[in-house]
Amino acid sequence: MKVAIGLSLVGALVGEFVSAQHGLGYVIMAAQGAFDTPRVFVAVLLLSLMGTLLFRMIEAVERRVIPWHVSQRGVRH
Amino acid sequence: MNRMFGPSRRSLLAGAAALAMPCVAKARAVADKVTLRLDFTSSGLHSPFYVGIQRGWFEKAGIDLSMEDGNGSTTTVQLVGAGLFDLGLNSLGPLTVARAKGLPVISVAGFVRKGELGFLVPEESGWKTPKDLIGKKIVYSVASQEGPFVRYFLQQNGVAEDQVELINVDGPSRYAVYFTMQADSLLTTVPGVMPIAAVKRPSVPILFSDFGLNLPGLGMGTRTDTLEKKKDALRRFVSVVCGAWTYILDGHEQEGAQAVFANRPNGAFTVAMMAEQIRLFKPFFFTDATKERPVGMQSEVDWTMTLKSMADARIIPLDTNPSDYFTNDCIDTAIIDKVAGGTY
């Protein structure tokens, strides 16, 4: 799940690169075409934050729902 | 005694000089390397390079040319701006935007001096003005050169953004979307796509330049520091290319297309299509301000108008100076005349 949540973000972004009218992928492409470097980096930073937040969210859900799982061994509850 | 029987100092110097002479001559004969990034894969617009290679014009000019295909003008400008190539063949619209954003690039030749951007619409539609596009689906690519201008152009011509459906897809996909009838109109460089549209979906253009937005078309750009460092070589190369264009446009379109095909037989276009591309582009090579000037030479009047349009669209700042964006220093009319006249 933790791996998949990051990959899902990548998938959505690549989809937006190919064809989208909104979204961060669209913003990156539009900013690239307009040589708007600050906007590109803001979008990339937001994506990084989203990725980190989603990863932590899944981690928190795993801690509560499957505390017995091997991935949770050694994790303080 | 030693001086009488051994080699004298003068003869040693003469011998050393004689040995060194071929090296000096060889060094002078070594051609200057010029690296060029193209706009796209092979098309009729690349004919001056291949005609120049076939006829040995670059060799005679002392140029060792290395070319690489591109995947869009924007990327070409970025790579040239990063110093990875000496020159780029690209639309001058993205180069202008890049320059305004601080990339140290400058246009050294303008070939397509009348803006060739526009909407292709189906031949049978009868649509002739931007207002005819109201309620229609328009496919375009936001990252391509037209991306920053489409909304401004529509707005200037009385079409609000919510009155059309703009479909953004990646560059190469937009053609398939239009040719398979999934969109009513395609925003693109019109003369380059017309020959393939004639086969896939016969179309007519609604040009930006006919409705108040004349953006600069195809030209060549370089970094300002590259221009300083390699000015002589770039001047010879650019002038030969301008001369080659003059030669091709003077009734040698077929030779131009054949030269591209001979070197790049696996490209997307046939010889007939590329010859047609060149013929369709020909009227775009001249504006009122440049009709008496050699191909490649740029006009301050045209650039001032272009920069004003871009500033009005808030794409570049208002206080722009045309001389920051273009130079004619790489145009040598003597070379152009010789190449165009076949006496080079």
The CATH number that applies at residue B286 is: 3.40.190.10
- Together in a domain, B276 and B257: yes
* Residues of chain A with C-beta less than 8 angstroms from the C-beta of B142: 26, 29-30, 33
- Nearest CB partner across the interface for A30, out of B94, B147, B170: B147
Contact with chain A for residue B148, Cβ under 8 A:
yes
Is residue B3 assigned to a domain? no
The tokens describing B138, both together, are: 């328009």
User: Is B74 within 8 Å of A33 when comparing Cβ atoms?
Assistant: yes
User: B206 and B219: one domain?
Assistant: no
B151 shares a domain with B50? no
| Domain-ending residue, one of B158, B185, B211 | B211
Name the residue of chain A whose CA is nearest to B315's CA: A34
Same domain for B224 and B309, yes or no, is yes
- Does some domain include residue B42? yes
Q: Do A35 and B94 touch (CB under 8 A)?
A: yes
Contacts of B147 in chain A (CB under 8 A): 29-30, 33-34
Inside any domain, residue A31: yes
Please, which residues have CB within 8 angstroms of residue B125's CB and are 6 or more apart in sequence? B132, B184
A60 touches B: beta carbon within 8 Å? no
The number of distinct structural domains making up chain A is 1
Inside any domain, residue B17: no
Distance CA B310, CA B314 (A): 6
What residues are paired with B219 via a beta bridge? B90, B110
- φ and ψ of B215, to 5 deg: -90, 145
* DSSP annotation of B264: -
Do A33 and B315 count as a contact with CB atoms less than 8 A apart? no
Flag if A35 and B315 touch (Cβ within 8 Å).
no
Same domain, yes or no: B200 and B256: no
Burial class (CB in 10 A: 0-12, 13-18, 19+), B110: buried
Does the beta-carbon distance from A35 to B147 stay under 8 Å? Answer: no
Q: Summarize pLDDT for B146-160 with one digit per residue, the tens.
A: 888 899 999 999 999
Residues of chain B scoring pLDDT < 50: 1-5, 23-28
Cα angle B341, B342, B344 (rounded to 5 degrees) comes to 105
Domain closes at, from B186, B211, B236: B211
User: Would A7 be classed as within a structural domain?
Assistant: yes
Nearest-10 crossing angle of helices A2-18, A37-65: 150
pLDDT, one tens digit per residue, over B242-267 is 999 999 999 999 999 999 999 999 88
Per the prediction, chain A carries an average pLDDT of 90
In a domain, A71, yes or no: no
Whether A54 maps to a domain, the answer reads: yes
Structure confidence at residue B313 (pLDDT): 83
B73's tokens: 């003008």
B258 and B121 share a domain?
Answer: no
Within-domain flag for A11: yes
Q: State the first-to-last Cα distance of chain B, in angstroms, to the nearest integer.
A: 58
Q: Are residues B160 and B207 in the same domain?
A: yes
**Residue B10 domain-assigned?**
no
User: Rounded to a whole number, what is the distance in angstroms from the first to the last CA of chain A?
Assistant: 19
Residue B18 resides in a domain: no
Establish if A72 belongs to a structural domain. no
In the prediction, which pLDDT does B28 show? 45
Domain that holds residue A43: 2-66
Residue B214 is given by DSSP the state -
Is residue B322 included in any domain, yes or no? yes
Number of domains in chain B: 2
Verify that B250 and B228 share a domain, yes or no. Answer: yes
- pLDDT, residue B13, reads 54
Do B179 and B264 fall within a single domain? no
β pairing state of B218-223 and B165-168: unpaired
Asked if B135 and B73 sit in the same domain, the reply is no
Q: Give the domain range for residue B219.
A: 31-114+215-340
Same domain as B327, residue B224 = yes
pTM higher than 0.90 for the full model?
no
Looking at per-residue pLDDT, the higher value among A72 and B29 belongs to A72
B219 with B203, same domain: the answer is no
Cβ atoms B152, B124 nearer than 8 A: no
pLDDT of residue A72: 79
Which whole-number Å values give the CA distances from B18 to A70, B11, B12, B66, in the listed order? 82, 10, 10, 34
Phi-psi label, residue B48: left if phi above 0, alpha if psi -120 to 50, beta otherwise: alpha
Determine, yes or no, domain membership for B12.
Answer: no
Is A23 inside a domain boundary? yes
Q: Residue type for A27, please?
A: V
Sequence-distant (≥ 6) Cβ neighbours of residue B158 within 8 angstroms: B130, B131
Sign of CA pseudo-dihedral A34, B280, B118, B287: positive
Q: Please judge whether A18 and B173 are an interchain contact, meaning their C-beta atoms are less than 8 angstroms apart.
A: yes
In this prediction, residue B3 carries a pLDDT of: 44
